[in-house]
Structure 1
Amino acid sequence: MTAHDQAAAPAATRRSGGKRGPYAKTAGRREEILDAAFDVFAQQGLRGSSLREIAERVGVSHTSLLHHFGSKDQLLIAVLQRRREVQTPVIERLMSERGVMDAVVENVRESATTRGIVALHTTVAAESTDPDHPANLFFREHYHGYAQTISAGIARDQALGRLRDDVAPLVVARQLSALLDGLQVQWLLDPDLDMVAEVEAFAALLLPR
């Protein structure tokens, strides 16, 4: 297949790894629903969004949407997973190029452009503390993975002399995670709060003395 042919290929075919037939259509439609859900939640948040509106954007029935995701909870988790899949490689690249704290600051700056997704994350994270909540496993894995990724970046920056070497990387990573969650709640309550400036102030405390 030439580059022109690839560009002209249906999105569903490209997203399903070039497969055709019912599987490609199902995978493609699921991606379309997920894209629409991400946009709706980003614009309107959790309370202002409905499955019917998402279904209408894609041109499917409410029943068809549930066929792909099972429930609103499963769709919410899929949206949060999509956000993580998009953010993680960007954070890792920036950590490698500019250091862990610059990567975190840029991530916070990007998050401030998607208020609805931040509200979704905050709301579902709080609800997921119930062990029986569908998102419980997702958030346990999310916080564990974030702490591991950021602590590895901190340790690398310490070795390069970018950060103080008298702090424990994993402890700081967890403190940073808690700081971000707390700032997001305060920002949702008061949009004038400058989350980026607050994280930059925290980062300054980690600079070598």
Structure 2
Amino acid sequence: MSQTARPASAREQELLERAYRYALDQGLSGLSLRPLAAAIGSSPRVLLFLFGSKDGLIKALLARARDDELDFLARTRANDQGAGSDLATAVRLTWQWLSGEPTRPLLKLWVEAYARSLIEPDGPWAHFARQTVEDWLALLTEVQPQDPNAATAMAERTLALAVLRGALLDLLATGDFERVTAAIERYQRLVAPQQQPRDPGPAS
């Protein structure tokens, strides 16, 4: 018989939120339970009781970070529908969020978890990189005009995601907002004419 996960208690949710804010500031790679517990008003014993292990806590923190990502994706879908649905618009709206100063801590955490999931595929980071790629491709699929050539459509989505991911890494490394944003705008100008809805041809 499969076991149903118990719902999180109010205390567990409160400590997870505090731990998440701590992780956004300090990162996850060197996470140690004792300083974390002291910073959030708890103890290692309580954290181990609530989350089972340090790996269990890291998994919970990664899930919390993904909640923020999915919330953004939902808002992007809604905004894109109002602005005109295409990949260029989705890239523009996404870059506005990615490049904002308030988002930087989350994105640094995302980059850290992405890299660790590739290096330690069997640890608490497992599948994080693949999952986030799938999340973003799902968004781009929803906003992309229909194309009868499935392979071409997938290539266009993958290119859009690669441009955003590369621009994000560049921005985090250099802080050169103007240069990187100019590259995003150049990409939009290049692809926008190709992403108009396909003309179905004259009615018979």
What fraction of aligned residue pairs are identical, expressed as a percent?
22
Whether the aligned pair in 2 keeps the contact of 1:33 and 1:58 (CA below 8 Å) is yes
Matched, 1:147 2:169: no
* CA displacement at 1:192 relative to structure 2: 2.1
Q: Distance in 2 between matches of 1:52 and 1:111?
A: 32
Q: 1:192 corresponds to which residue? A: 176
Whether the aligned pair in 2 keeps the contact of 1:147 and 1:177 (CA below 8 Å) is yes
Comparing both chains, which one has the higher relative contact order based on Cα–Cα distances under 8 Å and sequence gaps of 6 or more?
2
In the alignment, residue 136 of structure 2 is paired with which amino acid?
Y
Q: 1:128 corresponds to which residue? A: 117
Matched, 1:39 2:58: no
Once the two structures are superposed, what CA deviation does each residue of 1:113-161 show, in whole Å capped at 9, x if it has no partner?
22222111112212212432332323322212321320231125x89xx
Pair 171,51 (structure 1): closer, same or farther in 2 beyond 3 Å: farther
* CA displacement at 1:57 relative to structure 2: 4.8
- 1:1-209 counterparts in 2 under 5 A? 26-46=8-28, 51-69=33-51, 70-71=53-54, 72-98=57-83, 99=85, 100-112=87-99, 113=101, 114-130=103-119, 131-155=121-145, 168-194=152-178, 195-208=180-193
Q: Distance in 2 between matches of 1:67 and 1:204?
A: 53
SS at match of 1:201: helix
Q: Can you give the 5+ residue segments of structure 2 that lack an aligned partner in the other structure?
A: 1-5, 195-204
TM-score (norm 1): 0.69
Whether the aligned pair in 2 keeps the contact of 1:43 and 1:116 (CA below 8 Å) is yes
SS at match of 1:132: coil
Whether the aligned pair in 2 keeps the contact of 1:42 and 1:117 (CA below 8 Å) is yes
Whether the aligned pair in 1 keeps the contact of 2:88 and 2:191 (CA below 8 Å) is no
In the alignment, residue 111 of structure 2 is paired with which amino acid?
T
Aligned residues: 179
TM-score (norm 2): 0.70
Pair 66,109 (structure 1): closer, same or farther in 2 beyond 3 Å: farther
Q: Distance in 2 between matches of 1:28 and 1:199?
A: 42
Pair 125,206 (structure 1): closer, same or farther in 2 beyond 3 Å: same
Q: Distance in 1 between matches of 2:176 and 2:31?
A: 24
Identify the range of structure 1 (121-130 vs 60-69) with the bigger mean alpha-carbon deviation: 60-69
Whether the aligned pair in 2 keeps the contact of 1:95 and 1:103 (CA below 8 Å) is yes
Q: Segments of 4+ in structure 1 off by > 6 A? A: none
Q: Can you give the 5+ residue segments of structure 1 that lack an aligned partner in the other structure?
A: 1-22, 160-164
